[in-house]
């Protein structure tokens, strides 16, 4: 299968560079929050917590060190003339609410209509993580994913739907456990032709 690699250009959705505090400063901030919550930061069970939290944050928010264009840069043209919908559904993801810094967890469903090439299926999961592993709102996350697909794959159309439960709604505030938020975006043929949207929703509803 022939692969095409496109020149990498700057991802306009990338956050502006910021001056990051040191690891020691980050760990001290964790101690401050623990003390503010009412804990004794010198007790045995919490002595290593600041280091663990800093390490966990490196994983939770690795999206700030990833580039969507690099993820989607390699495409394949030798697909036997296939030009119909490519849909990957039930892509698990987790992100963190930028308003309360607590998780929201759900599934992404991504489809596109290729123009002259396709991308490896796993890349749709990877590009979801590029943006999910940052502080986010679900609306912004939906838009960033579809923008990356349009900018890098130049499809005839794209569709993205996210469904997620937000811990900021389940664990605090109104405390409505189990409430699901849906967001969706359609571009190109999916936005212009209702039958393509219907086909997208029909495929999502099919039993596994």
Determine the 3-state secondary structure of 147 from DSSP.
helix
Instruction: Looking at 17-172, list the stretches that DSSP marks H as alpha helix, in order from N- to C-terminal side.
Output: 23-37, 49-60, 68-71, 121-132, 138-153, 167-170
| Mode of pairing for the β-strands spanning 135-136 and 181-188 | unpaired
* CA distance linking residue 129 with residue 146, whole number of Å: 13
Q: Which residue has the tokens 């505090």?
A: 21
89: left (phi over 0), alpha (psi -120 to 50) or beta: beta
Q: How far is CA 3 from CA 48, 157, 174, 191, in A?
A: 47, 21, 50, 29
Per-residue tokens: 20: 């990051």
**Phi, psi for residue 176 in degrees, rounded to 5:** -100, 85
Catalytic residues: 97-100, 138, 166, 168
Query: How far does Cα 37 stand from its chain's mean position?
Result: 30
């Amino acid at each position: 299968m022939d692969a095409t690699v496109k020149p990498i250009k700057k991802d306009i959705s990338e956050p502006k560079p910021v001056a990051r505090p040191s690891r020691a400063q980050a760990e001290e901030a964790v101690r401050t929050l623990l003390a503010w919550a009412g804990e004794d930061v010198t007790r045995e069970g919490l002595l290593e917590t600041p280091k663990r939290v800093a390490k966990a944050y490196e994983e939770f928010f690795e999206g700030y060190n990833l580039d969507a264009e690099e993820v989607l840069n390699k495409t394949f043209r030798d697909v036997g003339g296939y030009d119909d919908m490519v849909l990957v559904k039930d892509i698990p993801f987790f992100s963190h609410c930028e308003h309360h810094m607590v998780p929201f967890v759900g599934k992404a469903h991504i489809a596109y209509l290729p123009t002259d090439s396709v991308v490896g299926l796993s890349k749709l999961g990877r590009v979801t993580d590029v943006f999910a592993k940052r502080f986010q709102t679900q609306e912004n996350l939906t838009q960033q994913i579809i923008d990356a697909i349009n900018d890098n794959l130049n499809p005839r159309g794209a569709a993205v739907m996210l469904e997620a439960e937000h811990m900021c709604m389940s664990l605090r505030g109104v405390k409505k456990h189990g409430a699901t938020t849906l967001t969706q975006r359609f571009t190109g043929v999916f936005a212009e032709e209702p039958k393509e949207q219907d086909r997208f929703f029909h495929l999502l509803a099919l039993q596994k």
